[in-house]
Amino acid sequence: MSRTLSPSERVQWLQLARTPNVGPVTFAHLIARFGSAAAALQEVPRLARRGGGVPPKVPDRALIEREIEALENVGGRVLASCEGDFPHGLAALDTPPPAISVLGHVSLLQREMIAMVGARNASALGRKLAQTLSAALSDAGLAVVSGMARGIDTAAHEGALAHGTVAVVAGGVDIIYPPENKGLYDRLKAEGAVVSEMPLGEQPQARHFPRRNRIISGLTRGVVVVEAAEGSGSLITARYALEQNREVFAIPGSPLDPRAKGTNRLIREGATLTETADDVLAVLRPILGAGFDEPVRDGLTTPGAIAESEIDRVRTTVLEALGPAPVRVDELIRVCEAPAPAIIAVLLELELAGKLTRHPGNAVSWSA
């Protein structure tokens, strides 16, 4: 059930979300187990010590308050995942981002959306096609989401500016990247929206881009890939879309063009071959206006009172089952033959202690 956080609760929510070793999965487990960010913050040091590590440093309350104030001073807002204004697509994800910052028109995030991504070193024809497709999809009522990168992203935003477009960025919403897109950024703030999971002032770093790509696909009903070489970030976005039960569309290209290798492979693997906006709309029309299917969140409904003796009993079994190679949590539960809530609690303690790494597909590995 959605609610609106008080100013104090919003600060505590961000403090917990920004605490080292607290990713979206652990954040969700902490809230489910302890009921509030305030209660979870009290428990984090104890849980990290139980996991065999040093308690992570919780961000200073005054620092978070200044960030929220600075964002509001430039017309922005922080949206928490429990609030009604939080985008429905993101809220339906298995472990949504705990919070996002938004500059521009927050109301755009309540519209039906389609993502468009592709190569930074896009061809002239690829950029033209992206802009044309984007304009047609926005004319049909869809807000177009992209990543404000060079090439296809820029063309997608430009095509949809008249009717609504959202840029998801890898740094803070106040950081213009790439710098040459300052004009586009200014128009996005005035006519569209800029969204980020990162703190204000955070410079984009390589490790941020997969998280950005997960939000791009999560906001939307589907992802259109215009040009993508093998190994490109656009294919990561398409992979997230599949994991999130979103549609994937791909523009075919010449086998002689490396920028078509990724899109052609997506088509071979089942993506919708796309040449016009009608190809996208034919797939999406039956589901537009319907709610997003929420996944089963195993363990997130665990009662708060998990006996620590039970957690201690299964700890050794979990540690023996973990290794450097990722293993899915459901497989870990099967192998350990122990109650899921206790195993999930052990994993939570290990992550807070810095001894566990989470991977896509609800997998974990040892990171001692």
Q: For 201, left (φ over 0), alpha (ψ -120 to 50), or beta?
A: left
SS3 282: helix
Residue 302 has pLDDT above 50, yes or no: no
> What's the order of all strands across the beta sheet hosting 356-359?
327-328, 363-366, 356-359
Strands 193-196 and 222-225: unpaired
SS3 222: strand
Residue 305 has pLDDT above 60, yes or no: no
Which tokens sit at 199?
A: 């703190």
pLDDT in tens, 173-202: 999 999 999 999 999 999 999 999 999 999
For the domain covering 110-284, report its CATH number: 3.40.50.450
Cα separation, 122 vs 132, in Å, equals 15
User: How does residue 291 score in pLDDT terms, banded at 50, 70 and 90?
Assistant: confident
Q: Are 209 and 170 contacting, i.e. CB atoms less than 8 angstroms apart?
A: yes
Peptide bond into 24 cis (omega under 30): no
pLDDT in tens, 30-50: 999 999 999 999 999 999 999
> What's the order of all strands across the beta sheet hosting 165-168?
77-80, 99-104, 193-196, 165-168, 143-146, 113-117, 222-225, 247-250, 272-273
Cα separation, 93 vs 96, in Å, equals 5
pLDDT score at 295 = 53
Q: What is the DSSP string of 154-179?
A: HHHHHHHTTT-EEEE-SS-TT--SSG
Q: Are 102 and 79 contacting, i.e. CB atoms less than 8 angstroms apart?
A: yes
Which tokens sit at 345?
A: 């609690």
pLDDT score at 322 = 94
pLDDT in tens, 57-103: 999 999 999 999 999 999 999 999 999 999 999 999 988 999 999 99
Residue 301 has pLDDT above 80, yes or no: no
Q: Report long-range pairs for 284-293 (Cβ below 8 Å, ≥24 apart).
A: 284/112, 284/114, 284/142, 284/221, 284/222, 284/247, 287/221, 288/112, 288/221, 289/112, 291/88, 291/92, 292/88, 292/89, 292/91, 292/92, 293/92, 293/245
Percent of the chain residues past pLDDT 90, beyond the cut: 88
User: How does residue 256 score in pLDDT terms, banded at 50, 70 and 90?
Assistant: very high
Computed over every residue of the chain, the mean pLDDT equals 93
* Boundaries of every domain in the chain: 7-103, 110-284, 308-366
Give the mean model confidence (pLDDT) for residues 225-253: 95
For the domain covering 308-366, report its CATH number: 1.10.10.10
Residue 303 has pLDDT above 50, yes or no: no
110-284 and 308-366: same fold?
no
